[in-house]
Structure 1
Amino acid sequence: MEYRPLGRSGIKVSKLCLGAQNFGQGGVTDRAESERLLGLSLDSGLNIIDTADIYGESEVIIGNYLKASGRRDDVVLATKFGVKGLSKDPNAKGGSRRWVTRCVERSLRRLKTDYIDLFQFYRFDKYTDIEETLGILSDLVRSGKVLAVGLSTFPPELIVEAHWASEKHSFVRFRSEQSPYSIFARGVEGHLLPTCQRYGMGVLTWGSLNGGWLSGSYRAGQPFPADSRASRMGIDLEDAGVKRKLEVVEQLADLAKSADLTFTQLALGFVTEHPAVSSAIIGPRNVDQLQSSLAAADVRLTEDILNRIDEIVEPGTYVDPAPGSSMSSNRGDSGFTAEPFRNPDQRRRPR
């Protein structure tokens, strides 16, 4: 397993990150299966686990497993705060000192740990000054309850604003950003990924399989699998955008076959090739899906393959339609714009 710097935090993380959003979800991944995924992931060399306070039982399952197995010190434990859950409390969200203080104590208790390695602000809060959030996060770092802080799905201009605030007031700096990034969602290549590089932030990518579109689950001329996300969402096979995605899927499938790669290896190999990316979050629902993703751990795509992907999906663009449509799966870009790259060295990891 390859380990990469998480920006300039001093922390090194595995090339793949275990995403735990499915853990404890009824009908998806029960507790026993979640524990199997945790054990197999750590045994394979993954050292970072990503969860959130709104992921149901996820934090509890992870905390119980790490305590029982004695593997807590081997893990970079990342969780998130800021998004409103099921609470009717109007203050149960955002980045206020009041709410962040409650979130960290609850996550520490559920995770059965004294510290959180990476505490991530989950979506921008327009009602709270970033200085307010950075102030309490700085206090948490000084107290040892949090070791590093990060962001999730922030636009580049707000990342810059946050770093200016940190410099002005001597607050802690955000050391990471979680962004949606895949062959189908390349908008972050335009501004966000270069901004993270400029400010020494590692990037954890999510949605790298684009909700199953880049795993080989959906193919032209075939109905969506009955248990797939596309079926649950009621996506229309006759939709023009869906037909476009299926056309691109077939081109990528041919490319993967010619390179003797699985679809998942091609998709994860693509996102982890960008020099801004520290780790790609995988969200397996079962052991088979985990093994499929782990097969991509040692994959390095050649220059010819990367250039061919650029021909199929232009850098800085989306195959997904506009946000909010019936088939858009993981834009998550907060509306910021993209611009195509002109220099391929900007989007290739050094060899």
Structure 2
Amino acid sequence: MEGRRDDVVLATKFSRPTGQDPNHQGASRRWIVTAVESSLRRLRTDYIDLYQLHRPDPGTDIEETLSALTDLIRGGKVRAIGASQTPVSGIVEAQWVAERRGLARFHTEQPAYSILNRGIEREILPTTQRFGMGTLVWGPLGQGLLTGRVRKNQDNDLRRAGLFQHLNDERRLDAVEKLIPLAAEAGLPMTHLAMAFTIAHPGVTSALIGVRTMDHLDALLTGLDVTLTDDILDRIDEIVPPGTDIGTLDQAYQPPRWRTRTCAAAQSPPAPQPDRLG
């Protein structure tokens, strides 16, 4: 970013474990101060535009977190702060504490949102709109399911991998099989249908995407000007009703004890399977 820092909006996160040390995680003042200095050093910059709490930390009072982040803003190391994967009660509490204590407030929230994951339409999006927060949604392509490359009766390496259980969710795969012909009828690639749906919601500020090549990026960007008709939106509602999540949301927030169990289960060797006949 040398020579181009003013042209970049730089966002990063804190709170997830960075090693085996149990103190190197969370949202305590001690760890926030350490984490931001490490980020500034790695990114070779003297300030971060948006510093985000990656996951709620049930072991730290939100006032302590906001107080530490407020000091970073006053010190010029951070311009704005946000959160991610926060339940609606946590969003409201953080806004209330910030107002009561005269602290900086979270300006953004980062939940998962796609045609398949519409649960945030019930409470999260109305709440962020109520508080004037930006909503930066992740997973608009359904963690790969809405690319059109994962089909119900196709076997591939991703579906066999234990870390991608959502690719084997029958309810999600059934919905995808209904969405693919709908995209074709609309004359759109599946990815354009998915992205256009995501950014059409008035409560969505922007959608975060992950690409590996410039070709992938260019292909997605060509769909930014797509506007879905009311008929297409209504038919999407028939496949995935508003405010609902299809299948499991295995990347949603889980208390630490449940994350530990989930990770342990994912790392366990699969049970032996009987030989197939024929």
Structure 2 length as normaliser, TM-score?
A: 0.86
Per the alignment, residue 259 of structure 1 pairs with 186
- Larger relative helix fraction: 2
Q: How does 1:234-253 map to 2 (within 5 A)?
A: 241-242=169-170, 244-253=171-180
Distance between the aligned counterparts of 2:191 and 2:30, measured in 1? 42
Q: How does 1:134-153 map to 2 (within 5 A)?
A: 134-153=66-85
Cα 1:118–1:238 shift into 2, 3 Å: closer
Q: Deviations over 1:32-85 (max 9, x none)?
A: xxxxxxxxxxxxxxxxxxxxxxxxxxxxxxxxxx12xx2221111100001112
Per the alignment, residue 94 of structure 2 pairs with 162
Q: Deviations over 1:282-336 (max 9, x none)?
A: 0012233222221222222222211111011011111123x5xxxx4x4x1559x
Stretches of 4+ moved more than 6 A in 1? 234-239
What residue ranges of structure 2 are gaps of 5+ in the alignment?
Answer: 256-278
Cα 1:249–1:137 shift into 2, 3 Å: same
Q: How does 1:156-195 map to 2 (within 5 A)?
A: 156-195=88-127
Alignment equivalent of 1:300, drawn from 206, 209, 227? 227
Q: How does 1:263-278 map to 2 (within 5 A)?
A: 263-278=190-205
> For residue 103 of structure 1, what is the amino acid of its counterpart?
A
Distance between the aligned counterparts of 1:153 and 1:295, measured in 2? 29
| Paired positions, count | 255
Query: Deviation at 1:237?
Result: 11
Query: Deviation at 1:219?
Result: 1.7
Distance between the aligned counterparts of 2:99 and 2:218, measured in 1? 43
- Larger relative strand fraction: 1
Q: Larger Cα Rg: Structure 1 or Structure 2?
A: 2
Q: Deviations over 1:161-188 (max 9, x none)?
A: 0011001110001000010111111111
> For residue 113 of structure 2, what is the amino acid of its counterpart?
Y
Distance between the aligned counterparts of 1:278 and 1:297, measured in 2? 13
Ranked by relative contact order (alpha carbons within 8 Å, sequence separation 6 or more), the top structure is 1
Per the alignment, residue 243 of structure 2 pairs with 316
> For residue 17 of structure 2, what is the amino acid of its counterpart?
K
Matched, 1:102 2:34: yes
Structure 1 length as normaliser, TM-score?
A: 0.69
CA RMSD of aligned residues (A): 2.0
Matched, 1:76 2:3: no
Distance between the aligned counterparts of 1:237 and 1:99, measured in 2? 32
